[in-house]
Structure 1
Amino acid sequence: MTELMSQAYSFGEGRFIPPPQMRVLPRSPENPLEWAGLESHAALNIVDLANADSCAFLATADLGKVFENGSFEVLGRLEGSDLRGCSLLTV
């Protein structure tokens, strides 16, 4: 399991707002080398610059949406992936 130093908080309705040093980026669920569009169902990549002494760039198996203002929603896990950590809350 990889822990992030930064935390994103929700002010309701399941949408999370990351701090300035953290970005969530959408990637294609079918092709890990292809970016997905904003507000589409996508796999989530996370860049957390606060992870200075560990991996700052993560490709997750979480399924979600990323919005133009940088906020994001976690909708579940990619098909065929294991349930892990906080994703168990979406079951």
Structure 2
Amino acid sequence: MSPCYRLLPHGAVYHISTICEYTPDGTLLCGIEPELPTIISFPYSQRRFFLTSVQLGQSMSFEEAAFHAVCYLQSIYGFVVMDYSFQGLLQYER
């Protein structure tokens, strides 16, 4: 199970995909794409992409992208991450 699924309130994310793609200059990017549910101001589900360049290996890139996604999702859902690692997350809900 993805760490983001364990972190978020039930039903907060519909789907999370992992992504790897190459830029035109040949740089490999890896990251995640969470699909967020509809909210009043946006009448359709939203997808956000969190990508980082692969410099120290793909797993580190996925972890960095997941960290950026967690920071973004904290600002939307109002939770605070007490301990973060790619293998598991602890949360404190406000």
Q: Does the pair score TM above 0.5?
A: no
**Structure with more helix by fraction:** 2
Provide TM-score, normalisation by structure 2: 0.34
Q: Please tell me whether Structure 1 or Structure 2 has the larger radius of gyration of its CA atoms.
A: 2
Provide TM-score, normalisation by structure 1: 0.35
